[in-house]
Amino acid sequence: MMMKTHKKMKFIAVIFMSVIFSAFFSCDDELTNDAFDQEDTLALTISNDDLVLEELFFTNTINFDWTTGTNQDTGAAIKYTLEMDMASGDFSTPMATLFSGVQSTYRYEMTYGDLNNMLLDNGLNPNESYQLSMKVTATIADASVAQQTAMTNFAVTTFKPITSRLFMVGDATPNGWDISNATELVSSTNTRGVFIYEGDLTPGNFKFAVNQDGCFCQDFYTKDAADGTSMVYNQGGSGDDLQWTIDQELGPDEDYRITADLLNLTITIEIVESVVDTPPFSTLWIVGDATESGWNIDAPAAFNQDGENPFLFNYEGQFNPGNFKIFAGPLGDFCGEWYRPFTNNELMVNGPVNQNSGCDSDTNWLVTEQTKGRYKVVLDTENNTVSFNKIALYIIGDGGPNGWNISTPTPMTYTNGEYVYTGPLGANNPTGEFKISKFKGDWCNGDWINPATNGQSINNTNFMYTYACDGPDNKWKLQTGQAGNYVIRINLETEQMTITPQ
C-alpha cells in the first residue's frame, strides 16, 4: 500500500514540475536542462577589424562571433545581446542593438551595405574613418549566475551610397535642359547601380543628374575626358562639365539605349530596334453591310481589347453576305484610319492586313452565301495580322452523348442564327453533367458557355461565358428521372437558350 502511494505522489510531482517548466520557458524564454550546461569565458571577435566599406562590395559580409560564456553548469538558458557604439562611448545609449535573444549559433552577420547605411543613419559622415566598439552581453536565466560581457573595437571607413534614381538632362533628351522635368532612367532589376534609358534622342548633348532639383549645383555624372565610355562623378557640380554627344537622328524603327553603370562608372550607347509598348489605336470598330453596324461610322459595333495583350482586339458577331472592313476612327470620318485587306473583295482568310487611312484605297472583305455565319475576328495591331474563326458549339460532359472527350465533342448545328442540338441527355449517365464549348482539342484553348451556377438544373438556362481554364467551371446537372431526348437551342446574338424535352 505504501509503495503505491509513493508512486502516485512521484507521478503528480513530475506533472507539476513539467507545468512549472513550460510556464517558465514560454513566459521568459528560459530553460533549465543539464544538456545546456556551459562553462566558458565569453569572448567576442570580428572577421575584419579594419573595414573599408565600398559600394561595389555592397553585399560582402562582416561577421561578429562570440563564445558561449558560462551558466556555471546550471543548465539555464543564456540570452545574448549584441550592441554597437562609438569606441568613445559607454553603451549607455548604444548606436544600435543588432541582436537580442537565445540562440544555438554564436554569430551575427551583416552586409557592408547594411552596416554603411546604419552608420549614416546614425549621423556619421560618408567617406570618413571611425573607431567603433562592439559589446556582447550574456544574461543567464538563473539569477544566481552573474551577467557577463565581452567587447572588441574595430575601424570602419564609410562611403556615400550611389543614388537610387538617375535622370538625363540636355538638348539631346526629350525634355531638353529643363532639369525640373529631366528624363528618368529605369533602374535595373538585375544589377545594382545600373540604370537604363531606351527611346528617342536628337542631335545634341546630355549628362546625368541625381535628382530633378532646379539647381545645376547638384551631383552629376559626366563624361570622362580620357574615355567616352567612362563616367566621372561630379559632386556638387564640381569638375569639368563634359557631356556626351548624340550626332545621329534615328529612323522610326530605331531607338537609342543608354546603359549607365554607376558602380563601375561606365556608359554604353547603342542603337536598337524600337519596341512599341502601346497599341496604335485604343478602340476598333466593325463596319460594313455584312455586319450588325452596316455602313454607320457614327456608332458602329466595337471590338474588345484583350486584357493581357493590349495589341489584340477581338469581335464576335454574325456575318451575312456583303462587305466589311475594320475602322480605327475617328468616328464619323470615312477617310479616317482603317484596317483593310490588300485586295478588294478578299475572302475571310487569316493573314496580313493593311493599315492605312483615306478614301483612295477602299478595299473590303467579302462574305458570301457559303461563308456566312457567326465569327470571332481577332486583329493583332502589333504585327498587323487578322484571323477569322467561325464559331461552332459543342456539348461536353458525361450527361451528353460523347462524354468528356474534348477532342471529339458532340457538335451543335447552326441554323438561322441558332445553334441546335437534338438528341439524348443522360444516356450514359442518368445524373450526368455537361457544359458547352466554342472549340475542341484542348481544355484551355478557347471560350466556354457555362450555367450561372454549378450543378444547375436543365430547367434553368441562365448562362455565362468563361475563357480557357479561368473558370468558374460550372456545369448543368441532370436530376433523377430527367434523362431522355431533348432539343437545346442557343442564340448568341440574343443570348437566349432553351432546353426542351421531346
Say if CB 193 and CB 260 are below 8 A apart: no
Confidence at residue 22, expressed as pLDDT on a 0 to 100 scale: 38
Same domain, 176 and 109: no
Same domain, 323 and 429: no
21 part of a folded domain: no
Same domain, 191 and 267: yes
pLDDT band at 11 (very low <50, low <70, confident <90, very high): very low
Q: Which residue has the cell 560582402?
A: 60
Same domain, 39 and 152: yes
Give the whole-angstrom CA distance, residue 403 versus residue 233: 71
CA distance readout (Å), 246 to 177, 200, 235: 15, 11, 24
Confidence at residue 273, expressed as pLDDT on a 0 to 100 scale: 86
SS (H, E, C) 242-302: CCEEECCCCCCCEEEEEEEECCCCEEEEEEEECCCCCCCCCCCEEEECCCCCECCCCCCEE
Give the whole-angstrom CA distance, residue 165 versus residue 15: 63
244 part of a folded domain: yes
Which CATH number characterizes residue 66's domain?
A: 2.60.40.10
497 part of a folded domain: yes
Across the range 329-356, mean pLDDT stands at: 95
For the segment 134-173, what is each residue's pLDDT rounded down to a tens digit? 999 999 999 999 999 999 999 999 999 889 999 999 999 9
> Bridge partners of 397?
403
Which CATH number characterizes residue 417's domain?
A: 2.60.40
Listed residues 95, 123, 157: the one ending a domain: 157
- 127 by Cβ neighbours in 10 Å (0-12 / 13-18 / 19+) ranks as exposed
Same domain, 242 and 142: no
Range of the domain at 197: 167-273
- 253 by Cβ neighbours in 10 Å (0-12 / 13-18 / 19+) ranks as exposed
Q: Number of folded domains in the chain?
A: 4
313 part of a folded domain: yes
Same domain, 264 and 310: no
Global confidence as pTM = 0.48
The residue count for the chain: 502
Listed residues 92, 122, 157: the one ending a domain: 157
26 part of a folded domain: no
Higher-pLDDT residue of 441 and 399 is 399
448 part of a folded domain: yes
Same domain, 472 and 496: yes
Same domain, 51 and 141: yes
Say if CB 104 and CB 46 are below 8 A apart: no
162 part of a folded domain: no
Same domain, 241 and 268: yes
Across the range 108-127, mean pLDDT stands at: 94
Q: Which three cell numbers stand for residue 211?
A: 535628382
Same domain, 378 and 400: no
For the segment 271-312, what is each residue's pLDDT rounded down to a tens digit? 998 776 789 999 999 999 999 999 999 999 999 999 889 999
For the segment 406-423, what is each residue's pLDDT rounded down to a tens digit? 999 999 999 888 999 999
Confidence at residue 333, expressed as pLDDT on a 0 to 100 scale: 93
Same domain, 136 and 201: no
Q: Say what percent of the chain tops pLDDT 90.
A: 77
Listed residues 242, 273, 304: the one ending a domain: 273
Same domain, 462 and 492: yes
308 part of a folded domain: yes
Which CATH number characterizes residue 248's domain?
A: 2.60.40.3620
